[in-house]
Structure formats: C-alpha cells, structure tokens
Structure 1
C-alpha cells in the first residue's frame, strides 16, 4: 500500500468514512498513520469501586447486569448499563451511542475506564472507554490485545478511537515506511517504522516515550530544514543597492519624538540600519512586550525608506490595530509632509508614502509600485502564504515583522531560523509594567 493512497480506496473506509475523516484533516494513508494518540488509557491498574475516590479516573473489571437505550423528549439517546465489579454496582452512561447495545450484551464481562462520579447518590461513569473480556483477559481488538496501554485519538462525529486504532493496526503492516534519517543523525533513537508502531501500540510507557522522542525530533528537524531552505533562498535574492542613511535628518527626526529612545530601542535600530546598508534584503523579526516601543522603531525605519524614495506597507492583524497605527504614524509624519494612507476592508485610501492596512493589503487592486519596505505586526496571525504574497509585492523586499509574544531562544531558532531576530528587552521610563496572573478556578466567573 502506498503512503499517498487516498483513504477512499482503503478497504473498510470508503467514501462515507473518508468524508468524516476530512474533519480531522486525514486524506491519505500517510495522514492516517501520522494521526497520533493524545493520551493512553492504562488498563494495567485495575481498581475496585469500593476503593476508588469520587473524581478519580479508574479502570474496573466486572459484569454487565443490564443495558438499554433511553430516548429523551429532545431526541437524544442515552445508553445506560448497570455494571458490577463484584464490590458494588455502578451506572455506565454513553451519549448518542445507541449502537453500543449491539456490541455489549447482558452478562458480558467488560473492562471499563473513566472518571468515577456520583449523581443523585448513585455511582456512575460517563462515556467510559470499554473493552470486552474473555476468560480473565481483556478481549481487546487484535491490535491492542495483551497490551496495557490503549491509544486514545482526536476524534470526530462517527469516528471513535476504537475505529481509528483498528484501521491503523490493519494499515501499518501493509505500508513500507522508509526512514529518511541517516544513522549519524538518528543516533540511538528508534527507526521511523518502529516509532510509528510504538506510538500507536506501545507495550509500556517507556516505548511510548521513545516513540514520542523520535517523532518530535523529526517534526522539529524538518521545520529547521525548511527554515534554512527559506533563508538560503532569501540570501540568493537579487542584489540590491544599499539604502543611504542621512544621519543628520535621522537624528533630527529622532530628537523630535515625544520621548527618548531606550538603550534597547537604540540597539535594535542599529541592527536594522546595518541590514538596510547591505546589498541583500532585510528579513528581521522584532520582538518586544506591549508598550516597549516597536511601533516607533517601525516609524523610524519607514522614514529611512522614505528618504531613499520608496514607500512602506504596514500590515496589522485587525482593523482596530490598523487604525491605531494609522493615527500614531500620522502624528509623527504629517508635520514632515509625509503622507500616510489607510487600506482596510471598510476604508480604502491607498494614497500615501506609508500605507497602513489589514489583509486588504493583499488585494490586487492595491497599487504597490515602488514599495521598499513591508512591516507585518503580530506576524504569527498571518499564514505563510499571506506573508509570502505580501512580500512579493515589493520592488526591494526589505521585510520587518513584529510580535509581542515572548519567544524562547530555542523556539526562535527552530521556528524562525530564516529570520534575524532583534529583541526590545527594556520598557520606556514611566511605562506601567505588564503583569500576568493565573486566576484559580474558584475565583473565575461561571458562564
């Protein structure tokens, strides 16, 4: 079976299930075997009801005394079973799962897992995970038979974890998975075929962790390769003329600002100016907390670009933020007779040496002649395709992205390896410090 085989052509799936799987973004065999469990039910720790605590997740073994469907006046179906583990009976309840009574019969022995609750003085488990038991062993479906960890997957309507693991167990042996990593990189990690087998059907927690380690490494490794590829492509872009820095006019502009730049802002500005004086386009990420002065840096860079005869596009994620930037930049530039335009879904005044806008800046109707700088605020709010399209609009594609989201260095090197990174790590004097608090549940307002 080929990895790119559409799921519609896989036995036991067909058109109906394939449409449901599309809600999970599963279209091919490769997608399905890379649909990993988000947790495992541990059937190795079997408890008894009498020893369990209310609110505790338990695994029980016992007998079904009765099972029936109950139809509510609102058209809902409740499937209720009385289950006894030989210490005390409890109620098992499933919602809109009327088909369960065809699989579970009175007298069947089950192994169930779920949170033990108490409703109207009766013990119960809502929507438990269950497996049939033959003799004294759980009759798990063949792919997990004899295993204590049962994978639980992200699901959608009509597609349960049991269904997913049954299909994955049937498909995995039929697929030839080639490990792309050479031994010198793979080192002591699992081979990819073993990692896939053990992420879905681990014998124990150690196997699950080793599989997760290998698959996590692959994800980060290929992200880094992609970012390095983007960086190389960026460096191969056309050689451009460095921008000229009129230091006298730049100093005058900075002195007229209503506040003095912090040391961190000065450092960041120096890094950006250095980029603009090279014969390759700038591609830099500017990170700083809300109120740290990123917009002012963007304004200064826009001014440098203006002095060189080019225009700036400034893209914000929302109209509210776009109009805030528009008003801020107008106050700074109108006295210098530098025009600032606004281009959003509701207002399209595209004339200006600097044009502030939202996604509307991607419109083909927008005139983008002579664009020398593109600034994207809160860059993580835009997709890669959107940023690439916007970047392609510029004649000389200097690119500055900004974010207020703190980015750990290791994450930054992994996800933004194609960007040079500048950090404003100092707040202006007198600026109120931003504090973050975690509110405990008991102090939260209920909806």
Structure 2
C-alpha cells in the first residue's frame, strides 16, 4: 500500500492536529481511513419537487413521502395550552412551505436559522388555512451553493454520519464533504487495486479508484449502485476466501479411518421402528453415510423443521459409528432435553446391547465418576449431556462421532473443545431453527448442508388462526369441546410474574383464573422457568400421561417431549413473541395424525390488522416494516407453516445479529454487505472464492497475487479468523 495513504489525516487541508484527534476518536486515523468513510445516505434530485408541484400532489390526494428543498425565511415558537410548538417557514423558487414540531422545540430552534437551506422529507399536508405543511419531517442541511448546483444539475448530495466527536470541532455536513473532496482530489491516485483484473472483468466492476469516487460523489444512481455492488462483493469475497481455505485445508490435511456398515445393526434397528422414514430422512442419511464412508471427517449441518425427525437420523448415524467400534457424543443445550433424549434413546435401543450414559450437572459425584471411567474405558458408546461433557476431565477412548443439537446455543470454543476430545471425529451439527439462505452461505460456508424438508407421513399441517382478546370465552369453549375428543391443550403466557411495564398476563396469575373460572371442569397444570428441570420434566410426563387436560405454561415448552394428544396451543400476547419462537411453540402440537390447532391471541386492533392485510416486503419501506413488525409476524404465522419461509421473513425483520444472538452468530461486523438482502452478491462472491481456492489453495499463481496480498494485509486479523473457526 502506498505510504501516502498511510499518512495522518492532519495533513489534509483544513484538518490539522486538533481535528485529527476528533477523527481518531471515531476510528479515522489515516487518509485511507477517510477515503473509506462512505456516506450513510444520499439526496437525489429525482426524489425532490418544487413547492407548487407538492401542492398539486396533495390536492390530488397523494399519500406518500416527498422531498423538497427550501431556504428558511422565518421561525417562531408558539405556545398553545402550555405547550411549545416550533414552526419554520421556508421558500423555494415557486412558493412557501412550513415545517412544524411539537416536541424538541429548543433543539429545532437552534438548528433552523434564517438564510439556511434544508432538504426536507415527510408526508405533506394542507392546513385549514391552505398552507403546505410538513409535520416532524426528516431534514438535511445543505449550503446555498450545493442547493443551486443540486437543483440545476441534478447532482446527488452525500450525507455522512456525524458523531459528536466531529461536531465538537465544528465539522458539519458541508465541511466534511469539502474535506473528503480534497482528499479524493489529492490522494485517490495512490489507491491500489484490491481485486485481480480477471474478477473485475468477469463481474463488470469499476476500478477501485472509480468505485470510491462514485461512492462519495456519484453523478447518477446507476454509477452509485455499480460502486456499491463492487464494495459489497469485495468485502464478502475475502470472507468467503477464508471460509474456502478453512474447508480446503481441513479436508486436505485430515485423514480418518472410513466407516463401513459392517453388521446388520442399522437394519435390525430400523426393523424395530413403528414408523417409516420419510424420503427426505432417507436422502439425508444417504448423504451422511457417504460422508462417514469417506476418509475425510464429516463436517455436516443438518437443518430440519420442528418435528421433522432429525433426532432419529442422528441416532442412526451413531449406530453406524458404533458398528465401527467408535463412541458417540451428543451435546444438547438443556438438562431436561438431555434427559429426554437419554430416555428416548434407551427405549429405542432397549433390545440392543449398547451402553448409553447421561452426563449433566445434577448427576451425583459417585455416579459421575463411574460414567467418566466408563467413557475412558470405551464401554460407554453413546454419551448424552450438556456442557458437562466438554469438561477437561472427560476423556474418550475412541470418539468417532460428535452430534451437536441446537448448535447455535453453543459458542465456537465449546464446539471445538468437544471435537478435540477425539482424533478427527466426524461432526454433525443440527438445528431446528431454519437458517436463511444468505446466512447459511456466510456462517456455514465451510459445512456441507443437509435439509429435512418433509414432515412424517400422515401429519396434517397445524391450523393457525389469530383471535382478538375479546374472543377468549369462545376459545375456552373450543378447548372444552375438543377435550371430549381426547385433545389436550397448551396455554402459553409470556412471563412468570406480572410486569406493569409490559402489561402482560402472568402465567401464575392466570393459571388460577383458568383453573377456577374459565375451565373449572378440566384438570389444569402449570409449568414455568423457575422450576428445576426435574420438576419441569415430571410435569411434562404427567401431561403426556394425561394427568392434566390443560398445561398453562411460559416458553419453557418451546423444546420438549412429543405429546401426541396435545393438539391445541393457545399463545397469549402473541405479538410479544418473535417469529422463530412462535413457530417453535407451534411445533409442540401436531405430533400425531389428528388435526392440530394453534390459536394466536392478541389485542383487538392488532388482530384486525393482521387478519386483513397481506404484507409483502417488496412493497413496504423500511419505515413501514418497522411500524408494522408485530402485524407482519402474526400475518406470516397464519400464512406459512414452513419454517424456512418463516425464517426468511424473520431474518428480514430482525437481521443476522438477532437470529442466534450476536456473540453466537459467528459473523464479523460487515460494513458494506447486507446479509439479509444481498443474496445474489453473496452467492456470486462465494462461487468465485471457492473456485479460486480449490484450484489454488495457497494463492501462489501470479493471477491471485492481489488476493493473497489483501488477505494478509487486511483480513488475517484474529477477530475474523476466530469468527469462522
């Protein structure tokens, strides 16, 4: 990299040492840092109108947002009923318009000064006096020169994030634009190309110099989009190169003893099942078997919707490992789930001489010592447990297969510690939380992915309906009627204790109400998060054994045992739950051939909106999406039963950091690429990266010299490498 770009920004005209300190506080130290400080938004002439045009739009009933530029000619503070209102009067070449604020009046009074120019964006209205008015609009300050140039030439004006550290040294929108213009003029010639020429040609990209110039000061939106595409591609391309190298070298260097189906163990086990595997399960098992028969260790992600049968696939995979004299470890996130898997596996393998052990924190020390010794000797063939099985004192004799359930609940280090307990064991990670395709490509780019996309035969889709709170009596009558047909019911509430702030129903309070008032003739149970896992398990098994007709619950039932007759779930305050969580809860019912029902209960007006509006992301602005999030979620639950379709919607609503949690997501903080929206760019970059790395893993070819150099200079930080470990 040119030494000129590594100079302190204090050498740029108008900055100097003091302002350089302010820039340093926001991470801008060098001239290169400044050149890569791109605008957060742009103002485009194609979206602006003159005041006379806006007036015509309003008169004709236009109901959208409009951008207009004008000069402040007057301001005033008005007092109405002890409240302050701030009004700014602006004019352009065709007329006048007003901006009005009912809150933060002192702030806006300091901002809007007579003679200043502003670009104002909002929904326009006409007052009863016929004045054109914008209420609480978004706004950007522009200079008179910029305004004239903008209006006459159609030039796009960039706007940058202006943290307080910059504002404190009198750096505003205009001065920052001028600083960056100077930097581009004097230093853009020193920029070095960051992609090889064959990729630039293949993808019709601009050069890096033209890309950066157009990101700051584009002449039109086509040039801006071309530049954006290049900078996004480059960022995700280098990440995918790291992922591709990780996968290549793991496969290249790791050699394992291939598994074979040596005896009739798997066949004999399949003959004991009282159901047939679905075509999708058989397909996935075939993929896993091919992996296990390879000399390279399996590293596969198994996705499957709630109730699709991932666990039985995992168990059959373990039997293949056991048939090859290997041990298996099954890591799960909670003790109740570990215990349920232990009981299920023990029952399924009752007629086979296979030792299964359960290792959780509540196991007594004497019993734990016996299990640890059995694991070390190799007698334990399947070890099921929580974090307890990754402790340092757990030693396997011959760990051949690691299965991690609900893998997103475990960190990278935890997964690595378990895998490192064997000599290159095969790894199968499973999730019942469907992963959106863009997230899967980035986060799990080094894994082979299998998907169970078919539910067991004779399963009927759960009927999902949305009802307002004033329909609760009808819902209770429905529960009573269905109880006569053998149906059991979950009734879910968001919290255990009353919260005045959120005004939510509390499970403990409403348990008494349902038991004594709403459903007095039925046997009602209660389960919540403050109970120990043993208490929770006892209640769940009592429910499964029909000691209860109705189980009042918080979200602790999100993951649990199959209860075939539990075929109604009522979710109160449904708007308070995330889409993924609602789908997980719905998965608690519909585990038999009976028709199951999911009843979402919410506020009256929200139920009306969600039931009657078909939300389509293509036609909703980000503001509208934010405003209608709850209604979109509820509408999606009614419309879709497929977890993968719901995952895409949830991803768009919440973003990557909130799907699994920021710490567990395993993603670096991308600055340019949008993991939610940029599927085509990510797909293209991944394809290019994997092709290059597979053909030249060490990047020794001259044509790949630029890639190698950039990986070493910019992408080899511990943070990025650890994120994909």
Q: CA separation in 2, counterparts of 1:338 and 1:69?
A: 81
Matching residue of 1:131 = 141
Count residues in correspondence.
430
Q: CA deviation at 1:65?
A: 3.1
Q: CA deviation at 1:434?
A: 6.7
Question: Which of residues 261, 275, 279 is equivalent to 1:245?
Answer: 261
The CA RMSD over aligned residues, in Å, is: 4.8
Give a deviation string over 1:274-293, Cα, whole Å, max 9, x none: 22122221112223332221
Conserved 8 A contact 2:390-2:418: no
Matched, 1:50 2:36: no
Q: CA deviation at 1:443?
A: 2.4
Residue 314 of structure 1: SS of its match in structure 2?
A: strand
Structure 2: give runs of 5+ residues left out of the alignment: 372-379, 466-578, 580-605, 612-627, 632-725
In proportion to residue count, which structure has more strand?
1
| Counterparts in 2 of 1:367 and 1:28: CA distance versus 1, 3 Å | farther
Question: Which of residues 418, 443, 446 is equivalent to 2:610?
Answer: 443
Q: CA deviation at 1:412?
A: 5.6
Residue 123 of structure 2: SS of its match in structure 1?
A: strand
Between 1:298-307 and 1:92-101, the stretch displaced more is: 92-101
Between 1:149-158 and 1:215-224, the stretch displaced more is: 149-158
Give a deviation string over 1:388-407, Cα, whole Å, max 9, x none: 55544443331112344265
Which residues of 2 match residues 19-418 of structure 1 at below 5 A?
21=26, 33-34=35-36, 36-37=38-39, 39-44=41-46, 45-48=48-51, 49-53=54-58, 55-67=63-75, 81-85=88-92, 87-93=95-101, 104-106=112-114, 108-116=115-123, 123-134=133-144, 137-138=147-148, 148-152=155-159, 162=173, 166=177, 169=181, 172=184, 174=187, 176-187=190-201, 188-316=204-332, 319=334, 323-324=336-337, 326-333=339-346, 335=350, 336=352, 338-343=355-360, 351=371, 353-357=382-386, 360=387, 364-365=391-392, 367-370=394-397, 371-379=399-407, 387-388=415-416, 390-404=418-432, 405=434, 408=437, 416-418=444-446
Q: CA deviation at 1:234?
A: 0.9
Conserved 8 A contact 2:20-2:29: no
Q: CA deviation at 1:190?
A: 0.5
Give a deviation string over 1:245-298, Cα, whole Å, max 9, x none: 344111122222342211221222122122212222111222333222112111
Q: CA deviation at 1:418?
A: 2.3
Residue 83 of structure 1: SS of its match in structure 2?
A: strand
Q: CA separation in 2, counterparts of 1:5 and 1:441?
A: 60
In proportion to residue count, which structure has more helix?
2
| Counterparts in 2 of 1:297 and 1:58: CA distance versus 1, 3 Å | same
| Counterparts in 2 of 1:184 and 1:262: CA distance versus 1, 3 Å | same
Question: Which of residues 460, 463, 472 is equivalent to 1:432?
Answer: 460
Give a deviation string over 1:316-345, Cα, whole Å, max 9, x none: 5x53xx633541343123535532435479
Residue 227 of structure 2: SS of its match in structure 1?
A: helix
Q: CA separation in 2, counterparts of 1:203 and 1:441?
A: 46
Structure 1: give runs of 5+ residues left out of the alignment: 72-76
Residue 42 of structure 2: SS of its match in structure 1?
A: strand
Q: CA separation in 2, counterparts of 1:428 and 1:327?
A: 20
Q: CA deviation at 1:227?
A: 2.2
Q: CA separation in 2, counterparts of 1:274 and 1:134?
A: 69
Residue 226 of structure 2: SS of its match in structure 1?
A: helix
Q: CA deviation at 1:377?
A: 3.6
Matching residue of 2:483 = none
Between 1:56-65 and 1:275-284, the stretch displaced more is: 56-65
| Counterparts in 2 of 1:164 and 1:63: CA distance versus 1, 3 Å | closer
Conserved 8 A contact 2:328-2:400: yes
Matching residue of 1:74 = none
TM-score, L = length of structure 1 = 0.75
TM-score, L = length of structure 2 = 0.49
